[in-house]
Structure 1
């Protein structure tokens, strides 16, 4: 039986997510991002296509590395202006029953105590369809605006993230016993105080003595996403993540990343199948190959290569404004996204990248590959990626919104379904159950299970 492919829509509460300049396209509606009906319409489209989830990126900062300022990011709308992702979800959840929601939130600038409550609230309001993509903010612009001279180093950010996550785990899993909420009208007891516990956390970064303010949500802990393919990121993901998001520029790079991640998961004492790996892709699908190629040609007319370099400079910490177009990118030490630098330097020894090639590559789809063709052609390619790399699914980015996602739903999904590669109906239950089929809560050998088992009875 062929491996079932998982599909997320990859978006952001902004104009130019991974296709800077496309807001000028006459069919693009991304400038409606401030209109809640834009997101409601998108959610309905994705649920119609049985898409697993909407994965919403976020960044708290601006891309000001390129040419030493944020000017190009502002001109091309390269992920600025950008609004909060969490506030979109309740409206979309209200018009859907199954679509999952993975929201990106950084551990760097918000205390875990209020954040844990926000995620519990989201899990309640979605009926258990919430996921958290854990990121460690790397942009100096964000750090400065939060009163920090510089962001923490790459490894320090992960040390903070580990403790941050431990605080959240304790609040979600070890504060309220399963039967703490009694809602007994006769006795007048809503919650039994004997079954609600302070977490008494004292650590290097956080001291949280009290109990969680929210009663247990359907999943307690939201589905844990993590987007880090660096060596340090893999260790963090292996211990905690349920879904890992990577952006490899080729199958060669992706195969190595997936294998390294699965080995790290097993080294952490977990089962390799406990973690789903999603590759970032952009697919341009049309009725025929010729129509899809014409659509790509049309999109390139609106693409902003300078906006793409603004994004890439921010991701890597390398100012591409200082590189000549024909200059080959070499590995440079950076405190930004190390896996982005590695992917374009040493991950594939057979491939080098010039500044011009990176600008062209990233102008549509960011740092992920672009597949173009009819539904049959793209489905063939997706099968090859799965079979040759062992990846579980794809985070599909949009070029022209909502046109790209509508083509996926109307053309690509039916082709994948006809091949037995994609579900025809959703499973009932929470997002975790839909993804793994093992109920609503995290189970052993994930460390949360032992934490929950230790709650006082």
Structure 2
């Protein structure tokens, strides 16, 4: 292990949804579990204080806009097991948590498929103002047909066309965030009674294939302007999109080899598009850690969680992620790749991505029943720290999106037991870096770097309807 690798700091995000059962269906049934309190403000403010005490980078809030109705061709299993339903809006949580913290940042998943970029850009700018620049956007295109049907479509767009739409969506957002208001447009001159200089505020006049947005951005510039940009696609088209737009990429796969290959692909895509794949993009993997004061205690917890896990809830989630009704399969059938318009990387990670491993349907369902598609490790703080260091050093990852099993016990154990061990090794921050989310992550300016394609819209130039980069145009 090289000295440079030893010194690499590990980043943690807490991975949650505004719901009862995120990635561990069935665990809410435990008497001590707090997940059913998700409707109460103190559920979220208590969590925010805990995570800031542990120097977590951020709360990463996932979201879906449809119900998981692929399994058994019905929503009944999702409703019965609370498998990501009921599901509340994640953005409403951020003002709550930001007001009880100073440094903790907030990544929020918002699907560009179902919200117009003009209104969305205003919502994000508002949150960036209210949090003093602690906002990130996880860019998703959605994968559930049920979401498309509920906004009046027959079904979602095809997988690759969703990314074509996404390229233009990003162009509109960059124009609004970066180009509509020049630096110095806000003057706040009380003597003259002039708040903003109209000559420095510009209509974006966007007229593209999917969107027409003629006017100005309604918000004055926030400290970051463009939020930190996350993206989670691991398909070929998704990696291209991530290489172009993402500052942070979220990957999810059950084995180290798949993660290592995805990390290398994403960094290569970024480099091919003129960015520095090593310094311009941070990559986080989904992970679940169960920490005990002894090895036996940790493994006892894991066995208790396994006994409480909902097989039906896990099958419901995996069917939704892959677009395949697993109720039509036998438990010992081999899970093979089928091209769908759902999350292609979800199915590939259990089929074609690793030719050395085959998964039966039952094995895949059992695997995702605790922690989704990411690995689960249990042990003492020393054992878990060893494992995380190996993943970082062998795959090129920068950090982890840590899912919880028991609310909020999983994160309490991480803060009290694991993080002090990582700090002792010099692998985890002792104090927060100052500034906005982007400054904390990259130790540079609050705004997009010059190497990012969104930066080209900073100066008011003649509008163009061409996407930023779109290999499929």
TM over 0.5: yes
Q: Which runs of 5+ in 1 are unaligned?
A: none
Which residue number corresponds to residue 347 of structure 2? 341
Distance in 2 between residues matched to 1:368 and 1:333, nearest whole Å? 22
Give yes or no for contact 1:43–1:92 (8 Å, CA) kept in 2: yes
Give yes or no for contact 1:175–1:455 (8 Å, CA) kept in 2: no
Corresponding position: 1:304 with 2:290: no
Q: Which runs of 5+ in 2 are unaligned?
A: 463-473
Cα deviation code 1:207-264 (max 9, x no counterpart): 0000000000010000000011110000100000000001011001101000111111
SS in 2 for 1:278: strand
Distance in 1 between residues matched to 2:365 and 2:227, nearest whole Å? 36
Q: CA RMSD in A?
A: 0.9
Corresponding position: 1:19 with 2:9: no
Distance in 2 between residues matched to 1:142 and 1:448, nearest whole Å? 29
Which residue number corresponds to residue 441 of structure 2? 435
Distance in 2 between residues matched to 1:262 and 1:305, nearest whole Å? 36
Distance in 2 between residues matched to 1:430 and 1:253, nearest whole Å? 32
Query: How far off its partner does 1:453 sit?
Result: 3.6
Distance in 2 between residues matched to 1:306 and 1:415, nearest whole Å? 37
Query: How far off its partner does 1:37 sit?
Result: 1.1
Cα deviation code 1:45-100 (max 9, x no counterpart): 00000000000000000100001101111111100000000000011001101001
Alignment of 1:14-413 (within 5 A): 14-272=19-277, 273-413=279-419
Query: How far off its partner does 1:444 sit?
Result: 1.4
Q: TM-score, normalised by structure 1?
A: 0.99
Corresponding position: 1:414 with 2:416: no
Give yes or no for contact 1:327–1:355 (8 Å, CA) kept in 2: yes
Q: How many residues in Structure 1 have an aligned counterpart in Structure 2?
A: 456
Give yes or no for contact 2:321–2:346 (8 Å, CA) kept in 1: yes
Once the two structures are overlaid, the 10-residue window that deviates more, 294-303 or 127-136, is 294-303
Cα deviation code 1:139-166 (max 9, x no counterpart): 1111111000010000010011111111
Distance in 1 between residues matched to 2:187 and 2:237, nearest whole Å? 43
Q: 2:453 aligns with which of 426, 429, 447?
A: 447
Distance in 1 between residues matched to 2:23 and 2:293, nearest whole Å? 24
Which residue number corresponds to residue 467 of structure 2? none
Q: TM-score, normalised by structure 2?
A: 0.95
Distance in 2 between residues matched to 1:45 and 1:196, nearest whole Å? 41
